[in-house]
């Protein structure tokens, strides 16, 4: 289990210390290895003080969440903590928190629909007293009638000292000196702290956290020496008692006079005690240290162990790691990949690798085929292309074995990835993950060939360029894995192709929709079919650098944004413009043109009809350059009655991609103005809510992309 710790105050650093020092012991007793995988805290100087290795320091919450199975929240407060917990749950992580205020006031927001318990907060109530485990596990089938107790050590200490003769102020000062009370003690002495705990306990029983506004609360500030003495004369002690009466649906925190035979009578000093009354077995009493770093950390560790039983079932630990061609193009890089895999295995993850052909191998194979045949047979082409991945998986498996781990390479056929027989662009029809799962259970790191498929008759197919990405997300789905990591030679998805724009920046998170647009508009990064599949099945994708520890880009549902945001600018030079000169200006002609293109399986992108002269129009549309071969120009010419068809190749499509781009015309205006200022002519335009594209002269691509990137200040994104 990978544990991420947020907050390194007294509690957080104690959890860190226990997990680091007693890791072996915990493993021996529980059978579970729990390793700290990331930590984050606001005061950066803490890292050096606690001797935390730099690769454990998370860049931000997402970095922490993504690299952990269990997120431990000890930052306190409700602002940042709430965001962290919500996001962790959204990303299917298990959360352990000690934050009573958060659970009491916002616990209802976190009630997740997942059938697996994912939020644990033992430490929020009893510190070292395992009251929540008692209620949730041991007493789960009991009807809880009443809970009553001394829930706040600070006030109990003050009252105990007053019992011995001190005044309130003096006792409070002593509590502060001993570290039992904070500089601002109001939450304790006003009874709020105890009220939060009652709200949390109520939530455990009823499923709804009522919040402290519903709890009648009175603190100990008004109690003076006289009250204490008067009670003592009558043989009583004053204590701050929290009570929930589930039958009467009432909860309160207030000072009460206890009789000598009350089981809470003898609970003095910083001790806490809770009495639970149930229908089946009467009263239970738990008593012990209710606060302090050690007891609270102990409650957190016990939650981690409890949580790990659930988290394991969630197969969070299976992570797909896909390495693109650029990450495995030399033996050194392959060895590098093996080392990264080793670190992953050591952190408790069970990786399944998907690997592309080395470097430009696929291109080389295409060229090779081109030298033999101008129209290679589809089946033979896939037979040839699939060798690229067969070679790389064997080498990667060997490199992993060299490091002393068990690994096995699997072709698509062996990994049971079945496709239809549409050679060169096959569709995956089914995937039987049993065999891969068995290898994982037997301790192997499976290395699966990307890009390939196999038909039910055993024919070898391929999934289209960039198809290894698709293999990766499909495997993630089939194995029930929550995360698919795509490793590349860059730090993530950038605001522009870093080869074109020098100061392009990696984007931290992006939605599937935006990624699909980016891929379609020319950013290689992730195959668009893979993004579409990931969106459909809720697979989170993390694009990372194979050779550094940069945090990477998270592709997922995305955070909700309303204002227009331009995320990235892309260019696509693999397009051509087909112009139908002098088409008769008659209804029905355009429909005929499109029908012809559909028959020929040619996809068009932008389309315009213009320059009307006499009874004629000019019609133009753009197609992918690779589709041009499919276009039967003579048929199109006769059906459209065009005088002539010309093809323009020196064009490129530039697009800005983002959210709500057409909500205001200002964005398009900025785009056009920027191009005008650079003297770049716009040939065609198309717009949707998530992108605006223009066609320009291909010689101007670099100039245009750089100018647009800076016009939208994309180099400044965080
Ligand atoms: P892989 O071999 O991992 O599949 P690709 O060759 O498919 O890698 O794509 C990686 C390249 O994509 C990067 O080196 C980068 O130059 C280019 N690229 C284009 N647009 C972007 C973008 N917006 N963000 C990141 N990389 C981009
Ligand atoms: N090797 C294949 C290609 O170059 C598949 C991939 O890399 O994803 O397109
Ligand atoms: Mg690729």
Confidence check: pLDDT of 114 > 60: no
Q: How far is the CA of 412 from the centre of ligand 2 (A)?
A: 14
| Contact criterion met (CB below 8 Å) for 322 and 469 | yes
Rounded distance, CA 542 to CA 552, Å?
A: 6
Q: Single out the residue of 277, 278, 297 nearest to residue 289, CA to CA.
A: 297
Residue scoring higher pLDDT (61 or 115): 61
Rounded distance, CA 251 to CA 214, Å?
A: 8
In short, whether 388's Cβ falls inside 6 Å of ligand 2 is yes
Flag the least confident range among 197-206, 312-321, 690-699. Answer: 312-321
Structure tokens at 392: 């790389």
Q: What is the 3-state secondary structure (H, E, C) of 338-396?
A: HHHHHHHHHCCCEEEEEECCCCCHHHHHHHHHHHHCCCCCHHHHHHHHHHHHHHHHHHH
| Contact criterion met (CB below 8 Å) for 71 and 284 | no
Per-residue pLDDT, averaged over 3-10, amounts to 94
Structure tokens at 107: 């616990």
Q: How far is the CA of 686 from the centre of ligand 2 (A)?
A: 30
- Residue 581 CA to chain centroid, in angstroms? 51
Per-residue pLDDT, averaged over 677-688, amounts to 93
Per-residue pLDDT, averaged over 313-329, amounts to 84
Confidence of residue 311 (pLDDT cuts 50, 70, 90): low
For residue 626, the model assigns a pLDDT of 84
Mutate to test the pocket of ligand 1, among 498, 553, 567 (most ligand atoms within 8 A of CB): 498
Helical (H) or strand (E) element with 187: helix 186-189
Question: Could you tell me the CA-to-CA distances from 61 to 5, 26, 67, 84, 308 in Å, in that order?
Answer: 10, 27, 10, 6, 21
**Ligand 2 atom 5 nearest Cα:** 466
CB atoms within 10 A of CB 582: 18
For residue 566, the model assigns a pLDDT of 94
Task: Count the residues in the chain.
Answer: 718
Question: Could you tell me the CA-to-CA distances from 633 to 584, 590, 629 in Å, in that order?
Answer: 17, 15, 10
| Contact criterion met (CB below 8 Å) for 409 and 447 | yes
Confidence check: pLDDT of 86 > 70: yes
For residue 507, the model assigns a pLDDT of 93
For residue 611, the model assigns a pLDDT of 62
Q: Single out the residue of 387, 452, 405, 393 nearest to residue 426, CA to CA.
A: 452
Structure tokens at 635: 């048929």
Structure tokens at 663: 């909500």
For residue 284, the model assigns a pLDDT of 86
Per-residue pLDDT, averaged over 21-31, amounts to 84
Mean residue pLDDT of the chain comes to 91
- HSE at residue 261, side-chain half, CA atoms within 13 A, is 0
**Ligand 2 atom 6 nearest Cα:** 466
Structure tokens at 126: 């009893």
For residue 347, the model assigns a pLDDT of 79
Q: How far is the CA of 341 from the centre of ligand 2 (A)?
A: 21
Residue scoring higher pLDDT (76 or 91): 76
- Please give all residues whose CB falls under 5 A of ion ligand 3, grouped by chain where several chains appear: 324, 466
The pLDDT tens digits of the residues spanning 185-227 come to 999 999 999 999 999 999 988 888 999 999 999 999 999 989 9
Mutate to test the pocket of ligand 1, among 484, 490, 509 (most ligand atoms within 8 A of CB): 490
Confidence check: pLDDT of 38 > 70: yes
For residue 154, the model assigns a pLDDT of 92
For residue 408, the model assigns a pLDDT of 97
Q: How far is the CA of 618 from the centre of ligand 3 (A)?
A: 37
Structure tokens at 123: 């430490």
Confidence of residue 601 (pLDDT cuts 50, 70, 90): confident
For residue 172, the model assigns a pLDDT of 94
- Residue 404 CA to chain centroid, in angstroms? 31
The pLDDT tens digits of the residues spanning 236-269 come to 999 999 999 999 999 999 999 999 999 999 999 9
First vs last Cα of the chain: how many Å apart? 30
Rounded distance, CA 372 to CA 386, Å?
A: 18
Confidence of residue 126 (pLDDT cuts 50, 70, 90): confident
Confidence check: pLDDT of 1 > 90: no
- Residue 28 CA to chain centroid, in angstroms? 31
Helices 467-478 and 528-537: angle between axes, nearest 10 degrees: 20
CB atoms within 10 A of CB 100: 27
CA 624, 630, 636 angle in degrees (round to 5)?
Answer: 100
Which ligand has its closest atom nearest to the C-alpha of 498?
1
Confidence check: pLDDT of 355 > 60: yes
**Ligand 1 atom 13 nearest Cα:** 490
SS3 content of the chain, % helix, strand, coil (to 5): 40, 25, 35
Confidence check: pLDDT of 706 > 60: yes
3-state secondary structure of 685: strand
Rounded distance, CA 107 to CA 105, Å?
A: 6
The pLDDT tens digits of the residues spanning 459-517 come to 999 999 999 999 999 999 999 887 899 999 999 999 999 999 999 999 999 999 999 99
Number of helices (H), then strands (E), in the chain: 24, 31
Per-residue pLDDT, averaged over 640-649, amounts to 92
Rounded distance, CA 311 to CA 655, Å?
A: 42
């Amino acid at each position: 289990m990978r544990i991420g710790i947020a907050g390194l105050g007294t509690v957080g650093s104690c959890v860190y210390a226990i997990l680091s020092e007693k890791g072996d012991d915990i493993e021996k007793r529980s059978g579970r290895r729990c390793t700290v995988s990331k930590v984050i805290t606001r005061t950066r100087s803490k890292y050096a003080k606690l001797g935390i290795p730099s690769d454990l320091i998370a860049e931000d919450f997402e970095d922490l969440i993504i690299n952990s199975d269990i997120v431990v929240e000890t930052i306190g407060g409700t602002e940042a903590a709430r965001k962290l917990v919500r996001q962790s749950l959204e990303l299917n992580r298990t959360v352990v928190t000690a934050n009573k205020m958060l659970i009491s006031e916002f616990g209802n927001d976190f009630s997740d629909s997942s059938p697996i318990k994912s939020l644990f907060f033992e430490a929020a109530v009893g510190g070292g007293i395992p009251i929540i485990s008692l209620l949730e596990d041991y007493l789960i089938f009991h009807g809880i009638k009443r809970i009553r107790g001394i829930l706040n050590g600070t006030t109990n200490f003050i009252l105990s000292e007053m019992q011995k003769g001190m005044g309130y102020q003096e006792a409070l000062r002593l509590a502060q000196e001993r570290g039992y009370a904070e500089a601002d003690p109001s939450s304790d002495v006003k009874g709020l702290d105890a009220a939060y705990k009652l709200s949390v306990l109520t939530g455990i029983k009823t499923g709804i956290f009522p919040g402290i506004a519903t709890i009648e609360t009175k603190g100990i500030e008004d109690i003076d020496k006289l009250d204490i003495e008067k009670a003592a004369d009558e043989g009583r002690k004053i204590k701050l008692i929290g009570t929930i009466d589930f039958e009467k649906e009432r909860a309160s925190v207030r000072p009460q006079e206890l009789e000598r035979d009350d089981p809470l009578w003898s609970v003095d000093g910083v001790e806490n005690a809770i009495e639970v009354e149930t229908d089946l077995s009467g009263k239970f009493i738990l008593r012990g240290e209710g606060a302090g770093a050690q007891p609270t950390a102990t409650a957190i560790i016990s939650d981690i162990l409890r949580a790990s039983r659930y988290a394991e079932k969630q197969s969070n630990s299976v992570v797909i790691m896909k390495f693109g061609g650029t990450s495995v193009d030399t033996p050194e890089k392959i060895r590098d990949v093996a080392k990264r895999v080793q670190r992953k295995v050591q952190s408790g993850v069970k990786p399944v690798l998907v690997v592309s052909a080395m470097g430009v191998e696929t291109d080389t194979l295409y060229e090779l085929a081109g030298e033999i045949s101008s129209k290679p047979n589809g089946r033979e082409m896939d037979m040839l292309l699939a060798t690229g991945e067969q070679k790389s998986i064997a080498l990667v498996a060997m490199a992993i074995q060299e490091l002393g781990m068990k690994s096995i390479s699997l072709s698509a056929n062996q990994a049971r990835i079945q496709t239809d027989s549409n050679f060169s662009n096959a569709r995956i029809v089914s995937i039987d993950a049993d065999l891969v799962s068995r290898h994982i259970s037997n301790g192997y790191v499976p290395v699966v060939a990307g890009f390939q498929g196999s038909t039910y008759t055993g024919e070898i197919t391929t999934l289209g360029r960039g198809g290894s990405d698709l293999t990766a997300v499909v495997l993630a789905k089939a194995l029930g894995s929550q995360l698919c990591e795509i490793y590349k030679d860059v730090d993530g998805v950038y605001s522009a192709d870093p080869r074109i724009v020098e100061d392009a920046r990696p984007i931290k998170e992006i939605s599937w929709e935006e990624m699909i647009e980016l891929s379609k508009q020319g950013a290689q990064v992730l195959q668009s079919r893979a993004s579409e599949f990931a969106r459909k099945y809720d697979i989170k994708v993390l694009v990372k650098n194979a050779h550094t520890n940069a945090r990477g880009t998270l592709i997922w549902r995305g955070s909700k944004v309303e204002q227009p945001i331009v995320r990235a600018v892309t260019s696509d030079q693999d397009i051509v413009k087909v112009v139908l000169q002098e088409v008769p200006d008659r209804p029905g002609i355009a429909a005929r043109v499109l029908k012809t293109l559909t028959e020929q399986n040619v996809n068009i992108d932008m389309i315009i009809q213009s320059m009307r002269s006499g009874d004629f129009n000019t019609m133009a549309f753009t197609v992918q350059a690779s589709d041009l071969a499919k276009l039967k120009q003579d048929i199109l010419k006769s059906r459209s009655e065009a005088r002539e068809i010309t093809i323009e190749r020196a064009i490129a499509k530039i697009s800005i991609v983002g959210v709500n781009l057409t909500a205001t015309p200002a964005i398009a205006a900025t785009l056009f103005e920027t191009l005008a200022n650079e003297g770049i002519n716009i040939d065609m335009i198309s717009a949707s809510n998530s992108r605006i594209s223009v066609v320009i002269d291909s010689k101007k691509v670099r100039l245009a992309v750089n100018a647009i990137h800076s016009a939208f200040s994309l180099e400044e994104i965080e």
